[in-house]
């Protein structure tokens, strides 16, 4: 299929839905994965908990290792084939996990899902191909909104489906991914013309080689550091929120679920509807800084609030923090050529993979030392640490960006 400089609306909708289904498929299995694992380990909760941790680490490790490769392949062969192969692969993988007869098969399936779910890399590169530089932050924000929406709907749907059978969510996730891939065969044009494609190199298509890209343009390495701190701070929500609010405020599953849904809704609104408008007014640089200030304040409120109502007041600030990712992504995208967009997006996903391996250990260790009768750290320490990380990112942003770069 020939390249199209102005892809049809259906093609962009496909890219959005692909990102949404990537996250939705992950979210659907979250409520049922522990129960499914318990069935393989004789109902042993301790072993199941260890396996859940192993599965999370495996997924992050696959994202770290393979995202640069997938991005580099899309720079060489185009976005369309890589996106479609990833979608078909993800669908087939979830069907494999639905049928898995042993724990080993389930582990293999989780490894494959970490690889194929890296289509988020190519989706971001596709957006960079077809969106003018001054509008990329808003477009990347829409992908972020898909991410948030998937984590709102996915766990809820997974819980309902899992009540029927712990394997049913895997069937549904696989079916949705395969249907979307079939749809993409008809509506997705290529976004990267042959004359703008790069040369594939194994030296660069690996995490260490891909990180060398960050040294290739002024300020790119520093922006990569900001993104790393941003992703690392995000791990505090994934790994400590439930235990923290249960210990400090006595919240049960219903309160936790509603609060996390509220965080997801606010974040989706910010990334899907606000980022583009704010960047148009302030520029990507200042929008990123505003987001870092808001995130620092929001996590400080989370950590300092002795009552649950105080934490709820911090949710809008944490939602505004979501402007950082699309703004930083836009600034970085403007610093690389069309032949390197896929590699850049793969590098960013790889950075997230690193934080996905480091963050859980860091924040759960701090949490363990801040709860219970023998706590050595004050309540809220994980969130206060996240606030410190974002303060460091804010300081770094002053060093590596310049005022005239506000419109990237």
Q: Is the confidence at residue 405, as pLDDT, over 50?
A: no
**Distance from C-alpha of 367 to C-alpha of 240, rounded to nearest angstrom:** 7
Q: Give me the helix-helix angle, 381-400 and 341-368, nearest 10°.
A: 150
Q: Is the confidence at residue 43, as pLDDT, over 50?
A: yes
Rg of the chain in Å (alpha carbons): 21
State percent of the chain over pLDDT 90.
14
What is the arithmetic mean of pLDDT over 201-207?
71
Helices (H), 213-323: 220-249, 253-269, 275-282, 284-304, 308-320
Q: Take residue 29 and report the two structure tokens written for it.
A: 């299995």
**Distance from C-alpha of 299 to C-alpha of 391, rounded to nearest angstrom:** 11
What is the arithmetic mean of pLDDT over 259-274?
80
Q: Is the confidence at residue 117, as pLDDT, over 70?
A: no
User: Domains of the chain (ranges plus CATH)?
Assistant: 1-189 (1.20.1250.20), 206-402 (1.20.1250.20)
State percent of the chain over pLDDT 70.
88
Please name every residue paired with 290 in a beta bridge, in sequence order, or none if there are none. Answer: none
Per residue in 311-322, pLDDT (tens digit) is 999 999 999 998
pTM for the predicted model, two decimal places: 0.73
CB atoms within 10 A of CB 41: 15
What is the arithmetic mean of pLDDT over 290-303?
95
């Amino acid at each position: 299929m020939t390249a199209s400089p102005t892809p049809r609306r259906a093609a962009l909708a496909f890219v959005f839905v692909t990102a949404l289904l990537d996250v939705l498929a992950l979210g659907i299995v979250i409520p049922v994965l522990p129960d499914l694992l318990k069935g393989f380990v004789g109902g042993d909760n301790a072993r199941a908990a260890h396996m859940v941790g192993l599965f999370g680490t495996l997924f992050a490790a696959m994202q770290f290792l393979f995202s640069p490769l997938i991005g580099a392949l899309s720079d060489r062969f185009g976005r369309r084939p890589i996106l479609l192969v990833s979608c078909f692969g993800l669908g087939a993988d979830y069907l494999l996990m639905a049928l898995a007869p042993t724990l080993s098969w389930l582990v293999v399936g989780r490894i494959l899902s970490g690889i194929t779910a890296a289509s988020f890399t190519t989706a971001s590169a596709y957006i960079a191909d077809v969106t003018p530089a001054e509008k990329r932050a808003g477009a990347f924000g829409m992908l972020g909104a898909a991410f948030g929406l998937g984590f709102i709907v996915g766990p809820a749907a997974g819980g309902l489906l899992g009540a029927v059978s712990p394997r049913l969510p895997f069937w549904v996730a696989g079916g949705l991914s395969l249907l979307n891939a079939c749809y993409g065969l008809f509506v997705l044009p290529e976004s990267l013309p042959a004359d703008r494609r790069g040369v594939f190199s194994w030296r660069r298509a690996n995490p260490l080689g891909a990180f060398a890209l960050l040294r290739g343009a002024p300020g790119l390495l520093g922006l990569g550091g900001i993104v790393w701190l941003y992703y690392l701070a995000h791990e505090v929500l994934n790994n400590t929120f439930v235990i923290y609010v249960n210990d400090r405020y006595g919240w049960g599953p219903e309160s936790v679920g509603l609060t996390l849904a509220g965080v997801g809704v606010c974040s989706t609104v910010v990334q899907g509807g606000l980022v583009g408008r704010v960047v148009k007014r302030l520029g990507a640089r200042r929008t990123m800084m505003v987001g870092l200030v808001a995130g620092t304040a929001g996590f400080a409120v989370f950590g300092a609030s002795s009552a649950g109502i105080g934490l709820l007041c911090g949710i809008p600030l944490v939602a505004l923090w979501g402007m950082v990712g699309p703004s930083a992504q836009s600034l970085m995208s403007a610093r690389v050529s069309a032949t390197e967009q896929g590699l850049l997006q793969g590098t960013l996903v790889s950075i997230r993979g690193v934080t996905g391996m480091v963050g859980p250990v860091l924040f759960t260790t701090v949490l363990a030392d801040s709860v219970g009768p023998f706590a050595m750290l004050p309540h809220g320490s994980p969130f206060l640490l996240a606030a410190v990380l974002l303060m460091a990112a804010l300081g770094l942003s002053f060093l590596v960006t310049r005022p005239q770069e506000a419109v990237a």
